[in-house]
Amino acid sequence: MRKTTIVPAVIATFVFSFGFVLSMAGSASAESAADNYNLFCVQCHGTKGTGKGVNAPALAVAPRNHTSAKDMSALKDADVFKAIKEGGVAVGKSTQMPSFASNMTDAEITEMVKHLRGMCKCEGKK
């Protein structure tokens, strides 16, 4: 009789704990580079990535055209990563590009660099 009470309780505890761990893991899951670009980058770089976002008219320095193979291939992947994580100033560029370290994880920024390479259809400077 006692065994029949304890066993379901142990199973229920296990299922609950497993579900809780899963839900916590889910809340910290990575966003796709496309979604991150869509929310964080589009405001200045534009929906097409050409640097003509809704904020662009207010900017003293035109946002980079991510579709330009010529411009993007002049940049090393490491510098693109650094610009996103630490801001434009960290790579000698505009203060208008802030650090997105609080918006994206390092892993998400790495994926973003790959996403940008897909947009320019180009490789980074070696």
Partner 1 sequence: MKRLIVLSCLLAFTMAFTGQALADGKALVDSNKCGDCHQMAGPAAATIADVMKRKAPDLFYAGSKFNKEWLVGYIQNPTQLRPAGTVYRNNIKTEGDKDIVGDLPKCASKLSAGDAAAVADYLMTLTDASMAAGVFKQDKFKKARAKILMKKKEACDACHMFPGKKGKPGKGGVSCPTFAGIGARLNPDWMYSFIKHPQHWDPKVWMAKREFTDAQLQLMVNFLSSMK
With respect to partner 1, which residue has the nearer C-beta, 1 or 60? 60
Closest approach of Cβ 36 to partner 1, in Å? 7
> Which candidate, 73, 35, 80, 71, places its Cα nearest to that of 51?
71
CB of 10 to partner 1, least distance (A): 31
The smaller minimum CB distance to partner 1, of residues 13 and 43, is found at 43
Instruction: In angstroms, give the least distance from the CB of 35 to partner 1.
Output: 5
- In the complex with partner 1, the residue whose CB is nearer, 77 or 85, is 85
What whole-number distance in Å separates Cα of residue 26 and Cα of residue 39?
A: 20
Comparing CB distances to partner 1, the nearer of 11 and 62 is 62
Q: Cα separation of 115 and 82, whole Å?
A: 15
* Sites of contact with partner 1 (CB under 8 A): 27, 31, 35-36, 38-40, 42-44, 46-48, 50, 52-56, 58-59, 87, 94-96, 98-103
In angstroms, what is the minimal distance from the CB of 18 to partner 1?
A: 21
